[in-house]
Structure 1
Amino acid sequence: MLELTTEQVAALADIDAKRFVEGVRADLCKQEPKLADDPTLSSRLWRAFKAARALGIERDENLAAFLRIEAYAPSFYEQPAIRAWLTRPGRSADERFHDYLRVMRWKIEHPEFRGGMNNGRSGGSGDRGGSGGPWANLGARWRGFIGRSSGGGNG
């Protein structure tokens, strides 16, 4: 039977984590090719992955969502309110991050409740159609929600 040292197990876990982050980066760049032009993307995603793990986020779907948010909102997890929410006692970081995602998705999908109404219409875009899963068009909506335009710049 093969026995590995603690250092060898840690090295294998590190390789697996880097492969996971690279897979999320590749998916992001496939969905939004402009992200491939960001030379900082890989290093930002790796830092975000380590931060997510340090916060206690362990579920793969939450880690992937955390990295997706990082792609559009660099270092979002360093904001005091977000950090306070994710580290608040009583529930796991995975549960708290899942709640955070649900709130953000709701706010993105219901812009009428964050910007008020303009002449009977919401201030956001009316594009609610289409298929393609929960991440379809989320990048544009997220950039709009956090105040970043889709044109140029890495934020």
Structure 2
Amino acid sequence: MLELTTEQVAALTEIDAKRFVEGVRADLCRDDPKLAGDVRLSSRLWQAFKAARALGIELDENLVGFLRIEAYAPGFYEQPAIGAWLTRSGRPADERFHDYLRVVRWKIEHPEFQGGLNNGGSGSSGDRGGSSSPWADLGARWRRFVGRGSGRGNG
């Protein structure tokens, strides 16, 4: 039977994690081709993945959500309020992040409860002549929600 050292197991685990992050990056770029032009996307996603793990986020679906948010809002997890919420005692980080993601999605889908609509939009999710990806639309609304308009760029 093959026996691996602790260092070898750690190296294999890191390779597997990098493949996971690269798969998410590929999906993001397929869904929103504008992200393919972000030369820092891979490194940002890797840093976000490590931060998510350090926060205690373990479930794949939450890791994917965490990385998707990072793609559109670089460093979102560095905001003190988000860090405080995710590390608050009483519930696992995976549950807290899932709750956070649900609240963010609800706020994005219901801008009328945040002081009106941006740019005179109707708030509907119909075709706006932009990207056909629901994640790209979510990303644009996320950037507006966190105060990062489209003129800022990725980085």
Give the structure-1-normalised TM-score: 0.88
**Is residue 127 of structure 1 aligned with residue 124 of structure 2?**
yes
Instruction: From the superposition, tell whether residues 79 and 4 of structure 1 become closer, same or farther in structure 2 (CA, over 3 Å).
Output: same
Q: Secondary structure at the match of 1:137?
A: helix
Cα distance in 1 for partners of 2:150, 2:66 equals 20
Q: Displaced runs of 4+ in structure 1, greater than 6 A?
A: none
Question: Residues 24-46 of structure 1, C-alpha deviation per residue, up to 9 Å, x if partnerless?
Answer: 00111111111111111110000
**How many residues are paired up?**
151
Instruction: From the superposition, tell whether residues 11 and 106 of structure 1 become closer, same or farther in structure 2 (CA, over 3 Å).
Output: same
- Structure 2: tracts of 5 or more residues without a match: none
- Structure 1: tracts of 5 or more residues without a match: none
Question: Residues 81-137 of structure 1, C-alpha deviation per residue, up to 9 Å, x if partnerless?
Answer: 00000000000000000000000001001000012479xxx965432247x897462
Question: Comparing both structures, which one devotes a greater share of its residues to helix?
Answer: 2
Cα distance in 1 for partners of 2:32, 2:52 equals 23
Greater relative CO, 1 or 2 (CA 8 Å, sep 6+): 2
Q: Percent identity?
A: 80
- Aligned partners of 1:41 and 1:71 also within 8 Å: yes
Give the structure-2-normalised TM-score: 0.88
Alignment RMSD (CA, Å): 2.3
**Is residue 148 of structure 1 aligned with residue 148 of structure 2?**
yes
Match of 1:92 in 2: 92
Q: Secondary structure at the match of 2:89?
A: coil
